[in-house]
Structure 1
Amino acid sequence: MSEPGALEKTTRINLLFDFYESLLTDKQRTFLKYYFHDDYSLGEIAAEFEISRQAIYEHIKRAQAVLETYEQKLGLVARHEKLILLIDRLDEALEAGQDEAALSELRGIARGLRHAVEIE
């Protein structure tokens, strides 16, 4: 995974995985975890499961496509990212605020938003 954008790709796949993991097959989950979470090479995964590197590559590519399809249909990651941006803007507004009662209320809202976007 040394091509340009590999880190961004890995980060995106991991985020998609966090949201849609339960919708994947056991094999898809396993191979994605080994490759993206545990940083195993295709060869290492192939040796572990006694199948070809090409088969592992195809499984991972299909699993990535499935994750992207789920995101296109459900949009959970996009919604999550929008909420994070709103929380950041709220934090900036809090820093600029003056009235302590209003600031306290805004802090409570920010905590509620943060809690709402946490992935369990």
Structure 2
Amino acid sequence: MLEQRLYLAELFDIYGPLLTDKQQKCLSMHLFEDFSMSEIGEDLAVSRQAVYDILHRSEQTMAAYEKKLGLAQRLREQRQELTEIYDDISQLSSDKKMDEKEAN
């Protein structure tokens, strides 16, 4: 459940601007403000079922964008590569410090 929520939040960060204003507000309230579907429905003046439909449609839309564009996957891969580069730099720095200590 948490992984799904994090995945949707990641997709929302990337593809959210491509959704309608109502979809954006509904997803934002659900994902980031932890509103229930009933609370969202009250705020948007729609039924709980309408909120469910909006959320479901929004998730499908963002998943379709991701399937075609792959931006979230590419971002994850770049983060992983940056982490590996940072680790390599840290290791080189540690090795250099060890060499300097041994030289003294």
Q: Where does the alignment leave 5 or more consecutive residues of structure 1 unmatched?
A: 1-5, 101-120
**Which residue of structure 2 lines up, in the alignment, with residue 32 of structure 1?**
27
**Which residue of structure 2 lines up, in the alignment, with residue 87 of structure 1?**
82
Query: 2:45 and 2:14 mapped to 1: Cα distance?
Result: 29
**Which residue of structure 2 lines up, in the alignment, with residue 116 of structure 1?**
none
Residue of structure 2 aligned with 1:68, choices 30, 51, 63 = 63
Runs of 4+ in 1 over 3 A off after TM superposition: none
Alpha-carbon RMSD across the aligned residues, in angstroms, is: 1.3
Larger Rg: 2
How many residue pairs match? The answer is 95
Deviation string for 1:52-98 (max 9, x for gaps)? 10110011000000011111111110000000110111111112214
The percentage of counterpart residues that share the same residue type is: 32
Query: 1:56 and 1:7 mapped to 2: Cα distance?
Result: 20
How high is the TM-score relative to the length of structure 2? 0.86
How high is the TM-score relative to the length of structure 1? 0.75
Higher helix share: 2
**Which residue of structure 1 lines up, in the alignment, with residue 13 of structure 2?**
18
